[in-house]
Amino acid sequence: MIPFVDLKAQYHSIKEEVDAAVLKTLESCAFTLGPEVADFEKLFAAYCNNTHAMGVNNGTSALHLALLAAGVGPGDEVITVPHTFVASAASIYYTGAKIVLCDIDPATYTMDPAALEAAITPRTKAIIPVHLYGQMADMDPIMKIAEKHGLVVLEDAAQAHGAEYNGRRAGSVGHLAGFSFYPGKNLGAAGEGGAVVTSSDEYARRVKMLRDWGAERKYEHVLKGYNMRLEGMQGAVLKVKMKYIEQWTEMRRAAAKRYDDMFAGTGVQTPKQMENRRHVYHLYVIRTPERARWQEELTKKGIQTGIHYPYPVHLLPAYEDLGYKEGQFPHSEKAGKEVLSLPMYPELTGDMQAEVAEAVTALQKSLVHS
């Protein structure tokens, strides 16, 4: 069997360090925030080439608190894309602002700057470009549009730790960024975790308050805050993993390169890494009009695959009330029907990939000749 991800392989490669870090936290009893979280935040901010990182309880909270820190609330509109994990849109809903969608560029699966510009109204307050699958959105035109209209840009970098755009790291281009440390992400906690990254002292101060009941000092509640702190144990585990994140990212990139080489000339529609970007391959996503059959055939051969994501936000029952109709975001809708994620994780071997590539190439041939 070739698994889609293998979290055990990573854990066992650093088990002694992780176990020691967890035990140390248990001894210290610094269970929520605390010194390990503070150390991790420093390392992670530096990794993003930025000033501040604030650990929170998950990636969704990171997006939510970043929007609140930027002053987003009822009466505002925030623009994001339909082809994403639902959390990108949900974070807008939590603030009371209105979710506005714009379509993606089908080559990169990220926000189309022209569609973004067309979606702006006098009520627009912020934009959430999503660095989907590990490749950053087209940030130069997005930042230019934002500047022209005075909008806040929040990067949804939940899948893009270490990704780059013109040499600039994810988390250092927008005004704020939200990261997730969900176990399956490129940098995963031993449970839930997330972080807001920013260069703004004021945004950082507000996020620190908002995650901890809106208080700058105990019981002095300045803002209406939340309990969204990162746990000490997660900080300790993430701090250990910071030593390896670059190595793991390069292993993912090498695995993606091997897939690219194996699929060269086969007609399989492989992911496109844009020239000015460092793709960190959270997912390796191909596309096919016969996805259901391909997935079934691959499953029969013991090859696990995933679909990210089958339904665009505007077609989800939960977001019916946004009032969008099928056909409004054709690139997102088509991607939802065709994308297929192949096994991808740092420890994936060339032999396993050869097996995957052989099976996928055979399916592609049957497609061409049918």
Ligand X SMILES: *Cc1c(COP(=O)(O)O)cnc(C)c1O
Q: What are the residues binding ligand X (CB under 6 A)?
A: 58-60, 84-85, 87-88, 130, 156, 158-159, 180, 182, 194
Q: How far apart are the first and last CA of the chain?
A: 28
In the bound state with ligand X, the residue whose beta carbon lies nearer, of 180 and 353, is 180
In the bound state with ligand X, the residue whose beta carbon lies nearer, of 191 and 350, is 191
């989907």: which residue's tokens? Answer: 132
In the bound state with ligand X, the residue whose beta carbon lies nearer, of 58 and 95, is 58
Compute how many other C-beta atoms are within 10 angstroms of the C-beta atom of residue 186: 25
Residue 295 CB, nearest distance to ligand X (Å)?
Answer: 20
Residue 90 CB, nearest distance to ligand X (Å)?
Answer: 9
From CA 51, how far away is CA 28, in angstroms rounded? 27
In the bound state with ligand X, the residue whose beta carbon lies nearer, of 213 and 309, is 309
Residue 180 CB, nearest distance to ligand X (Å)?
Answer: 3
Residue 7 CB, nearest distance to ligand X (Å)?
Answer: 15
Question: Coil, strand or helix: which one is 69?
Answer: helix
Residue 132 CB, nearest distance to ligand X (Å)?
Answer: 6
Residue 282 CB, nearest distance to ligand X (Å)?
Answer: 8
Compute how many other C-beta atoms are within 10 angstroms of the C-beta atom of residue 324: 18
Note whether 199 and 54 are within 8 A (CB): no
Residue 18 CB, nearest distance to ligand X (Å)?
Answer: 19
In the bound state with ligand X, the residue whose beta carbon lies nearer, of 64 and 353, is 64
Q: How far is CA 294 from CA 133, 211, 314, 361, in A?
A: 20, 44, 26, 11
């926000």: which residue's tokens? Answer: 111
In the bound state with ligand X, the residue whose beta carbon lies nearer, of 170 and 262, is 170
């009371």: which residue's tokens? Answer: 96
Q: Give 98's Cβ-side CA count (13 Å radius).
A: 14
Question: Helices (DSSP H) in the chain: which residue ranges?
Answer: 7-13, 15-28, 35-47, 59-69, 87-95, 113-119, 139-149, 201-210, 232-241, 245-263, 291-300, 330-338, 350-369
Residue 85 CB, nearest distance to ligand X (Å)?
Answer: 4
| Chain centre distance of CA 209 | 24
In the bound state with ligand X, the residue whose beta carbon lies nearer, of 50 and 84, is 84
In the bound state with ligand X, the residue whose beta carbon lies nearer, of 180 and 305, is 180
């091997």: which residue's tokens? Answer: 258
Strand pairing class (277-278; 284-287): unpaired
